[in-house]
Chain A
Amino acid sequence: MATEVEEILKRIQSHKGVIGVVVLNNDGVAIKSTLDAATTTQYAGLITQLADRARSMTREMDPNNDLTFLRVRSKKHEIFIAPGMIFFATLFAKYFVISNEDPK
Chain B
Amino acid sequence: MIHGYLNRLRLASDAPFATVMPDISANIWTQRQLNLIEEEEIPGVVKIRLQVCNPNLPGNIIQYDYLESAYVFVPPDPTIVLYNHDPMLIRKAILAYTANSLKNSPQKSVTKRHKETAYLEGEEGNIHSNPPKILQESSTIDSDEESMPETGSQQASYYDTQGEEETNNVNFLQASKGEDGSDSESEVAEAGSSKVNLFSHCERGVQTTIIRNKVASSTTVTTVVKSFSSNANFYEIAVAYDVFGRKTKPEINAKIERKKDESGAASKQLPFTPADPASEESSPEEVSTELSNRPGLTPEGFQRLKHSANVIERMLSQSMFDDLAQDLKYFEDAADDFRENEGTLLPLWRFVIPTDAVRGTKTNSSGTCVRSLVWNPKYFDLLAVGFGSEEPDFDGGGLVCLYSLKNAFHPEKVFKFPVGVTFLDFHAERPYLLGVTTEDGSVYIYSLHSKLSGLLYESSGLISKDSSNITQIKWVADKIESCPTFVTVSFSGTVHLWLISNKKLVQLLVVTLSFDGPISDEVNRQDMQGCCSCVSVHPRDSNLIIVGTTEGLVYFLSLESDVTPSKTYSAHHLPITSLQWNPFHINFFATTSYDSSLKIWDNNQSNPLLVFKLADPLTDVAWSPFSSTTLATISSAGKVYVFDLSVKKFEPICVQRLAPRDRPKLTRIAFNKYQPLIIVGEESGFIGTYKLSPNLRKTTKVLEEERRMEVEVTKLERLKKLLSL
Contact = CB atoms under 8 A, between A and B. Distances in A.
Contacts of A92: 243, 296-298, 300-301
B303 interface: yes
Given A4-B279, A6-B289, A11-B410, A95 B301 contact: yes
Contact of A11 (B283, B286, B294, B313): B313
Most B CB within 10 A of own CB, among A12, A15, A78, A83: A12
Nearest to B304: A84
Contact of B296 (A8, A12, A18, A25): A25
Interface in B259-312: 275, 278-279, 282-283, 286, 289-292, 294, 296-312
Contacts, number: 119
17 contacts: A1-B299, A2-B302, A3-B279, A8-B310, A11-B313, A11-B410, A12-B312, A25-B296, A68-B311, A80-B315, A82-B308, A82-B309, A84-B305, A91-B240, A92-B243, A92-B296, A97-B312
Given A25-B296, A82-B308, A6 B291 contact: yes
A86 B298 CA distance: 13
Nearest to A73: B319
Given A15-B409, A17-B320, A27-B230, A5 B305 contact: yes
B86 interface: no
Interface string A1-41: 11111101101100101100101010100011000000001
Interface string B406-442: 0001100000000000000000000000000000000
Most B CB within 10 A of own CB, among A11, A45, A97: A97
B304 A86 contact: yes
Interface in A69-83: 69, 71, 78, 80, 82-83
Nearest to A80: B315
Nearest to A83: B308
Contact of B316 (A6, A18, A25, A45): A18
A68 B304 CA distance: 13
B309 A12 contact: yes
Most A CB within 10 A of own CB, among B283, B299, B306, B319: B306
A97 B305 contact: yes
Contacts of B308: 82-84, 95-97, 99, 101
B283 A2 contact: yes
Contacts of B310: 8
A25 to B, nearest CB: 7
Nearest to B228: A27
Contacts of A3: 278-279, 282-283, 286, 289
Contacts of A57: none
Contacts of B721: none
A9 B312 CA distance: 9
Most B CB within 10 A of own CB, among A3, A18, A25, A86: A3
A11 B407 CA distance: 12
Nearest to A70: B315
Given A15-B316, A82-B308, A91-B236, 12 more contacts: A2-B283, A3-B279, A15-B320, A17-B320, A23-B305, A69-B315, A80-B319, A85-B304, A91-B243, A92-B298, A97-B311, A97-B312
Contacts of B297: 2, 92, 95
Nearest to A44: B226
B68 to A, nearest CB: 67
B554 to A, nearest CB: 45
B117 to A, nearest CB: 78
B61 interface: no
Given A71-B315, A91-B243, A23 B306 contact: no
A1 B303 CA distance: 7
B239 interface: yes
Contacts of B282: 3
Contacts of A101: 304, 308
Contacts of A41: 224, 226
Contacts of A82: 308-309, 311-312, 315
Contacts of A96: 308
A32 B230 contact: no
Contacts of A88: 298, 300-301, 304
A59 B308 CA distance: 19
Most B CB within 10 A of own CB, among A9, A27, A32, A83: A9
A98 interface: yes
Nearest to A81: B312
A60 B697 CA distance: 44
A15 B297 CA distance: 26
Contacts of B320: 15, 17
B376 to A, nearest CB: 21
A101 B275 CA distance: 25
A4 B282 CA distance: 11
A92 B313 CA distance: 23
Contacts of A12: 309, 312-313, 316
Contacts of B239: 91
Interface in B308-363: 308-313, 315-316, 319-320
A2 B303 CA distance: 9
A95 B310 CA distance: 13
A60 B565 CA distance: 64
B300 A8 contact: no
A4 B307 CA distance: 11
Contact of A32 (B226, B275, B290, B299): B290
A44 B312 CA distance: 17
Given A23-B291, A31-B291, A45-B226, A4 B275 contact: yes
Contacts of B304: 84-86, 88, 95, 101
Given A12-B313, A15-B316, A84-B308, A5 B294 contact: no
A17 B409 CA distance: 14
Closest 7 CB pairs of A and B: A2-B292, A82-B311, A84-B304, A8-B309, A1-B302, A97-B308, A95-B305
Nearest to A14: B409
A79 B300 CA distance: 26
Given A78-B319, A91-B236, A92-B301, A8 B279 contact: no
A2 B291 contact: yes
A85 to B, nearest CB: 5
A5 B291 contact: yes
Given A1-B299, A11-B410, A97 B309 contact: yes
A92 B294 CA distance: 11
Nearest to A26: B296
A96 B279 CA distance: 22
Contact of A5 (B243, B296, B309, B316): B309
Most A CB within 10 A of own CB, among B243, B278, B300: B300
B401 to A, nearest CB: 15
B274 to A, nearest CB: 10
A71 B316 CA distance: 10
Contacts of B303: 1
A1 B230 CA distance: 29
Contacts of B315: 69, 71, 80, 82
Contacts of B311: 68-69, 82, 97, 99
Nearest to A15: B316
Given A15-B316, A88-B301, A1 B306 contact: yes
A12 B319 CA distance: 13
